[in-house]
Structure 1
Amino acid sequence: MADKEATSIIELEPNNIPNHIAIIMDGNGRWAQHRGLPRVAGHKEGMQTVKKVAIAASDLGVKVLTLYAFSTENWKRPKDEVGFLMKLPVTFFNTFVPDLVKNNVKVQVIGDVDELPKATQKAVMDAKKRTEDCTGMVLNFALNYGSRLEITETVKTIAKQVSSGIIKTDDIDEQFISKSLLTGFLGKYADPDLVIRTSGEERISNFLLWQVAYSEFVFTDTLWPDFDKNTLVEMVHEYQTRNRRFGGLNKTNK
């Protein structure tokens, strides 16, 4: 990894900014433990990082930033930690929505929001309402989200449509499925161009399994609370060195 000084002078190609960046935010607990702090301190610091990175991504011209905030598997964590995590969206949206509006950023959420505590649901719905007229970057939180559950529920929905005669099996193709998934509202930006995972782990963890079929992956050892604009620029620069062929050949190959 480049140092901060070197990273700060990276010049990006303005015409090759990924439209959709998805981030698996990992390492909050380890960040806290390295400092002798409780894990929740890492989550609190990570919330501040979300603010900084969201504005940085918007400034770069990113169209969609999807953040893996809480997975369907995270309920297995200690009760106190889960309780704290459920309070974070309330704090985050109550303090940060004015800045989002100022930067023309629109909040969206994917996941089973109905299973979240009422206060968390209200914070999410209020944030969506308050930013609904924003026309800039979509800040998309994956909250109580799991890709296998998403695909399972989508299959059930499509099966009901077939059984009721709304559609025929021949109507079902990749485009139809993509539009039926939770990210369908993102249209042409539904599939991430770049997926970033922090903290050195190299796995997808049940995140956007359908959507990342042709995404570029970049893994960094940086713990999420230490992730900043310079780190984001470095990740995008790495993305810009890739040759995205989508299963085809290089343009120079025949």
Structure 2
Amino acid sequence: MALFKIKNEETKTVSQLKIPRHVAIIMDGNGRWAKQRFMPRVAGHKAGMKTVKKVAIAASDLGIEVLTLYAFSTENWSRPNDEVNFLMQLPIDFFNDFVPELIKNNIRVEVMGDVAGLPKGTQDAVQRAIEQTAQGTGMILNFALNYGGQTEIVAAAKLLAQQVASGDLAAEEIDANRFASALQTSPLGDLATPDLMIRTSGELRLSNFLPYQSAYAELYFTNVLWPEYSGEDLIEAITSYTKRDRRFGGLNDESEKQ
């Protein structure tokens, strides 16, 4: 069993960790990383793309089943045109370069969000990556592209309302499971809800990322900027997750129930 170092703690083995099945990451801090180095913001995004590759492989090696990355939000369109254009080119460069390694590591690509609202070149790159990695049976690398959590919830409500209006669904049949089936994460089945939600760069908010699905996710915030994030940092987050008692509103310890 491979050993790894946890910051400020003794050497541990992977077998001592409780590996979350689904990890979601808000990849924040690219711009600040670039600013600290007197570089343009796009340089930070380019560095962040390299981090995605490292962290994806590290997550797969740890046995994580789904890694969902917040790559581009519906709110990001408000950024300067030059930056948005660069961000739209990133998936093209990323998938052209990284798909062979994803295939080698048995990783399957999935994408959620309003993909139809992306430039055609970006759409094509995304579709090729999904098709080329479709045979992967290992970790699912799930990108949230042109994604907004509130928009997703509204769309799900509209879909269910239309089904009720058409007579295909009775209003009393709508429950949490039915609602979840109308969300964009539904293809993930029992892996649709993240166990661990990580945000880099020190910001303490979810920024419209998986608001419904993360209702019981364990939250972990780190000051590390995304371009500097590493497999060791991921392990540190999972170490924190391992120490937590997930009760989902109930009581786990028999002494607490008495």
Same fold (TM over 0.5): yes
Residue deviations 1:132-152 (CA, integer Å, cap 9, x gap) = 111110000000000000000
Correspondence for 2:61 among 49, 59, 62: 59
**Matched residue, 2:108:** 106
Q: CA deviation at 1:250?
A: 3.1
**Matched residue, 2:219:** 217
Matched, 1:141 2:143: yes
Distance 1:30 1:107 in 2: 28
> Contact conserved, 1:107 with 1:131, CA < 8 A, in 2?
yes
Q: CA deviation at 1:8?
A: 8.9
Q: CA deviation at 1:60?
A: 0.3
Correspondence for 2:231 among 229, 232, 253: 229
Alignment of 1:184-199 (within 5 A): 184-199=186-201
User: Per the alignment, do residues 150 and 7 of structure 1 end up closer, same or farther by CA in structure 2, a change over 3 Å counting?
Assistant: farther
Residue deviations 1:88-137 (CA, integer Å, cap 9, x gap) = 00000000000000000000000000000000000000000000111110
Correspondence for 2:169 among 144, 167, 170: 167
User: Per the alignment, do residues 93 and 8 of structure 1 end up closer, same or farther by CA in structure 2, a change over 3 Å counting?
Assistant: farther
**Matched residue, 1:125:** 127
> Contact conserved, 2:44 with 2:227, CA < 8 A, in 1?
yes
Distance 1:157 1:95 in 2: 37
* Worse overlay, 163-172 or 206-215: 163-172
User: Per the alignment, do residues 218 and 132 of structure 1 end up closer, same or farther by CA in structure 2, a change over 3 Å counting?
Assistant: same
Correspondence for 1:178 among 162, 177, 180: 180
> Contact conserved, 1:21 with 1:196, CA < 8 A, in 2?
yes
**Matched residue, 2:91:** 89
Distance 1:39 1:206 in 2: 22
User: Per the alignment, do residues 85 and 155 of structure 1 end up closer, same or farther by CA in structure 2, a change over 3 Å counting?
Assistant: same
Distance 2:6 2:31 in 1: 23
**Matched residue, 2:82:** 80
Q: Return the letter of the residue paired with 1:85.
A: L
User: Per the alignment, do residues 151 and 5 of structure 1 end up closer, same or farther by CA in structure 2, a change over 3 Å counting?
Assistant: closer
**Matched residue, 2:39:** 37
TM-score by length of 2: 0.95
Distance 1:30 1:11 in 2: 34
Q: CA deviation at 1:11?
A: 3.3
> Contact conserved, 2:6 with 2:12, CA < 8 A, in 1?
no
**Matched residue, 2:70:** 68
**Structure 2: segments with no counterpart, 5+ residues:** none
Q: Return the letter of the residue paired with 2:88.
A: M
Aligned partner of residue 253 in structure 2, secondary structure: coil
**Matched residue, 1:49:** 51
**Identity over aligned residues, as a percent?**
57
Distance 1:244 1:12 in 2: 20
Distance 1:48 1:8 in 2: 29
Aligned partner of residue 185 in structure 2, secondary structure: helix
**Structure 1: segments with no counterpart, 5+ residues:** none
Q: CA deviation at 1:6?
A: 4.5
User: Per the alignment, do residues 61 and 163 of structure 1 end up closer, same or farther by CA in structure 2, a change over 3 Å counting?
Assistant: same
> Contact conserved, 2:29 with 2:225, CA < 8 A, in 1?
yes
Aligned positions, number: 252
Residue deviations 1:53-84 (CA, integer Å, cap 9, x gap) = 00000000000000000000000001100000
Aligned partner of residue 247 in structure 2, secondary structure: coil
TM-score by length of 1: 0.96
Which 4+ runs in 1 deviate beyond 2 A? Answer: 3-15
User: Per the alignment, do residues 240 and 15 of structure 1 end up closer, same or farther by CA in structure 2, a change over 3 Å counting?
Assistant: closer
User: Per the alignment, do residues 123 and 207 of structure 1 end up closer, same or farther by CA in structure 2, a change over 3 Å counting?
Assistant: same
> Contact conserved, 2:6 with 2:236, CA < 8 A, in 1?
no
Q: CA deviation at 1:171?
A: 1.4
Q: CA deviation at 1:10?
A: 4.0
